[in-house]
Amino acid sequence: MDLVLKNCKLVDEIGEYYIKIDDGKITDISKTPMKASEIIDVKNNYVLPGFIDPHIHFRDPGLTKKEDFHTGSLAAANGGFTTVIDMPNTLPKTNTYKALKEKYEIAQKKSVINFELQAGHNDLEEMKKMMELKPVSFKVFMDLESDESLEKIFHDLSTLMKTTDYNGLVATHCEKKSIVESETERLKDKSENKPIDYTYARPSSSEDESVRQAIELARANDLRLHICHLSSIKSLNMAKSASKNMSVSWEFTPHHLLLDNSSYNIYGTFIKTNPPLREEQDSVRISNLDENSIIGTDHAPHTLDDKTKGVWESSPGIPNLETVVPLLLTEVNRGNLDLKLIPKIFSQNAAEVYGLENKGKIATGYDGDITIIDLKKEGKFDINEFKTKAEYSPFDGWNYVGMPVMTIVNGKVVMDKL
């Protein structure tokens, strides 16, 4: 069936438009009325390219008590996302051909939206096999690797790029293992620990040193670097400087943009995450978002039991897929963020970095992936209304102004609150 959206507002355009989607593709954009099997009145709301989250953890396979590809993709659709990129730290890790193939099969059966997978690193021959499945990039958790190991991983990825069709994109979790280990050991020696201690166990200096190292390794091996969940302002400045003469991109999470480590005194271990919330003077903020930025939610759900085991044993991770868009649209309404940045930071930039063809724009020939937002819709977050399995969020109870009201994937409506 073909579909026409009428009374559409487009960012940076004057007037109202009709958009036609046929066979999953945008086939026409015009101010002239069009006919189709189905016509949806968008009611003068903004129509944006389908939102892409380049950083999610759907916990499938192996950890599906926390989330699975069905509930996670429902949460993504509910939050306005049409495509997600899943991380490799499931059980088993998706760092073998067999595990990666299994996850693809699971996702194809369960997901209600588009998805891509990142692969974990392994020996060179196994990574060559994995390339047959076309992962969008390789993920390196630098906080789990020694310097010697990191040098080998980046060198192997460079070799992989020269011997396969690997695009050279490496996504990094940047925290320095040696600093994290020494600071954690020091803080554990205290007679009593509070949740805020977790900030200092993984200080901003560990991220800064790791970002510096990632830039050096990527440059030396001619790789494209994507820095996940960047949280330190010093690291941001290093990344911006490096991007002048090499390929470096980065993403921000909503919790690092909107909270600082004083929030541990309110939410306790519910906001434990890696990298942790920073001291206010060290943290990135909404004002750091620009036309090169990417939003990655790092949606990382856990059970309530997992989140309440104390400072050191509680699992790190925050669910964000259903809160991030209203949170940032609220910042638009407050005048703290330009509406023109929304399609870039939620869609276009991620599509370009990860090579997602025919995604990231409202244009003829592009995929019929659409996110419709109502900038005036007001409400209050209620965790009980979310689709995720997670039962906690630091943003539960927060007021918002602005909400995704329809998500269309390949021309099919998967979420409708119009």
Catalytic residues: 298
Phi/psi of residue 219, nearest 5 degrees = -65, -45
Q: Are 29 and 362 in contact (CB under 8 A)?
A: yes
User: In 3-state terms, what secondary structure has residue 403?
Assistant: strand
Distances (CA, A) of 214 to 157, 178, 208, 222: 13, 15, 10, 12
Q: Structure tokens of 406?
A: 């329809």
Phi/psi of residue 216, nearest 5 degrees = -60, -45
Tell which phi-psi region holds residue 254, choosing left (phi > 0), alpha (psi between -120 and 50) or beta: alpha
Kindly state the helix (H) or strand (E) to which residue 376 belongs, with its residue range: strand 370-380
C-alpha to C-alpha distance for 54 and 291, rounded to whole angstroms? 17
Number of Cβ atoms within 10 Å of the Cβ of 30: 11
* Centroid of chain to Cα 211: 18
Going by the DSSP 8-state scheme, the letter that residue 222 receives in this structure is T
C-alpha to C-alpha distance for 394 and 273, rounded to whole angstroms? 12
Q: Are 3 and 36 in contact (CB under 8 A)?
A: yes
Q: β-strand 17-22 against 3-8: which pairing, if any?
A: antiparallel
C-alpha to C-alpha distance for 158 and 290, rounded to whole angstroms? 30
